[in-house]
Amino acid sequence: MASILSISEIAFLIGDPARTNMLFCLQNSDMASAADLTRAAGVAPSTASEHLAKLTQAGLVSVSKMGRHRYFSLGSPQVAELLEGIDALAGKLAPDGPPEMRHDQAALHARTCGDHLAGHIGVAITQSLLASGHIRQRGKTLNLSHSGRMLFQELDVPLSPLNQSPRRFMSLCHDWSEDAFHLGGGLGGAFLETCLIRDWMRRPKGRAYVDITPKGRSILRKNFGIEAGTTIPD
Amino acid sequence: MASILSISEIAFLIGDPARTNMLFCLQNSDMASAADLTRAAGVAPSTASEHLAKLTQAGLVSVSKMGRHRYFSLGSPQVAELLEGIDALAGKLAPDGPPEMRHDQAALHARTCGDHLAGHIGVAITQSLLASGHIRQRGKTLNLSHSGRMLFQELDVPLSPLNQSPRRFMSLCHDWSEDAFHLGGGLGGAFLETCLIRDWMRRPKGRAYVDITPKGRSILRKNFGIEAGTTIPD
DNA sequence: GCCATATTTCGGTTCTAGCCGAAATATAAT
DNA sequence: ATTATATTTCGGCTAGAACCGAAATATGGC
């Protein structure tokens, strides 16, 4: 027996775009730092901190302090279930409503999940890497093959710092928008960072997705065989 | 694949106390008029109308026009499922948090569901009526026995107008806060109305529950064997 | 100890959603 | 036709939430 107030409070917490982004990011990749979620939400760190405080206080997410990081995850399996339920309902109720397609299509096309690429592009890149053998999946472990190492070096993605980091080198996050997997972990983050530095992609101020520049489109085409959607015209 | 925006929009709609009241009222009793839901939400009719417009536009509730009434119900079974999910989660996350107990305990003790009594008191009255044989349940049909008719006449509840109304004379609504049943339908509404007129109960301006007066406590004790909680001291 | 990184707290601004009351509309009852 | 009831639209008010930037705190690495 739950009170109306506590019920609406929960829904209220989920019902803010920034927090929704955080929660769904957590549903994919367990263990995200505050900084990851800040990026996912597309707000200032201070704002994200406020959101996370509210979410943790309500018990929707739980936090474990590790070093100077705070890693968040969903508070309980029931939270994940609830998110799934809302997602399912949203899919039924808003069957590709045209009004929000413009803005949101771009978001889904190359959205970001924490500090790495997700959405259509994120999944396509990952599939390309797997298909070409640059990444090999054996059971639960992932390996970057020699050819893959070459590829990332060629793209100027710095790999050496990643070996010293406590973070997992690679991981596959389930992508809720594509129902497939995208590349996460340190490598996923480093790759996106390189994309931004080299102006292959641009993150609109505080958004949870990136726009792909013409330069980026040619990179994606050449290295991954991907025809990226046009967001910034040539 | 639902967009973050449409997801947070749904949660946002649920996340307002007035709308939450409406939705959970609809989960109990299908077919509630706008006026019923206005009462349930505890806001002005104009405000309720705005809420209902938003809910229908989003597809969370559906509406069927019958005469000069508009009857609402939940938009789909999935909406009901979602509400259940939130309710369940709220029960786990807010295990009797003391901060909101004061205000809310009163609300749950004698809350109203549309135009009839619900909550602890509503359920207790209904159980008393069933136990004493004033109401008989045979399969899906409900009958008011002769003794029951006498009882309500004694309490000055006007029964004759109810026979002319198109509304169902009696119904049992599932009470989400007590996990039991309370009396709805025309009789449920008429009884509450009598309680308010005779000052056995008072509805705080625009709230979705009633306070029980000392006079009302004695009525409940005498007729139903119920010890109502004290909200208004003698 | 000292610097860099991660995160929170604080102060102040802006914007939106909820609220009401009054008036308008629609439909039923007389 | 007129009156009563049910519901919506409109205008204006107010409170609260989200947001940011700057400064404060905590922690790890050196």
Question: Contact B129/B136 with Cβ under 8 angstroms?
Answer: no
CA gap A110, A123 in Å, rounded:
9
Residues in chain B: 234
Are the Cβ atoms of A6 and B60 closer than 8 angstroms? no
Are the Cβ atoms of A108 and B1 closer than 8 angstroms? yes
Q: Which of B6, B58, B93 sits opposite A58 (nearest CB)?
A: B93
Question: Contact A137/A129 with Cβ under 8 angstroms?
Answer: no
φ, ψ of residue B4 to 5 degrees: the values are -55, -40
φ, ψ of residue B173 to 5 degrees: the values are -95, 140
Output the CA–CA distances (angstroms, integers) from residue B138 to A106, A211, B117, B146, in the order listed. 59, 65, 23, 16
β-strand pairing of A116-117 with A112-113: antiparallel
Counting residues of chain A whose pLDDT is more than 90, the rounded percentage is: 25
Q: What is the DSSP letter of A211?
A: E
CA gap A3, B17 in Å, rounded:
10
CA gap A234, A222 in Å, rounded:
17
pLDDT computed for residue A59 by the predictor: 92
> What is the CA A90 to C1' C8 distance in angstroms?
34
| Tens of pLDDT, residues B144-202 | 888 888 899 889 888 877 765 656 678 777 666 665 678 887 888 889 988 988 888 88
> What is the CA A93 to C1' C14 distance in angstroms?
32
Amino acid at B91: G
Give the residue from B1, B4, B83 with the most A CB atoms within 10 Å of its CB, the best one to mutate: B4
For the domain covering A4-95, report its CATH number: 1.10.10.10
Question: So where are chain A's domains?
Answer: 4-95, 104-224
pLDDT, mean over chain A: 81
pLDDT computed for residue B107 by the predictor: 57
Residue ranges in A110-145 assigned as alpha helix (H): 119-131
pLDDT computed for residue A92 by the predictor: 82
Residue A178 has pLDDT above 70, yes or no: no
Q: Please state the rounded mean pLDDT for residues A106-130.
A: 82
Q: Please state the rounded mean pLDDT for residues B117-125.
A: 88
Residue with minimal CA–C1' distance to C29 is B68
* ipTM for this prediction: 0.63
Are the Cβ atoms of B15 and A19 closer than 8 angstroms? no
What separation, in Å, do the N-terminal and C-terminal C-alpha atoms of chain A show?
Answer: 58
3 state DSSP class of B124: helix
Higher local confidence (pLDDT), B8 or B229: B8
- How far is the alpha carbon of B118 from chain A, nearest alpha carbon, in Å? 13
Question: Contact A190/A159 with Cβ under 8 angstroms?
Answer: yes
CA gap B218, B35 in Å, rounded:
30
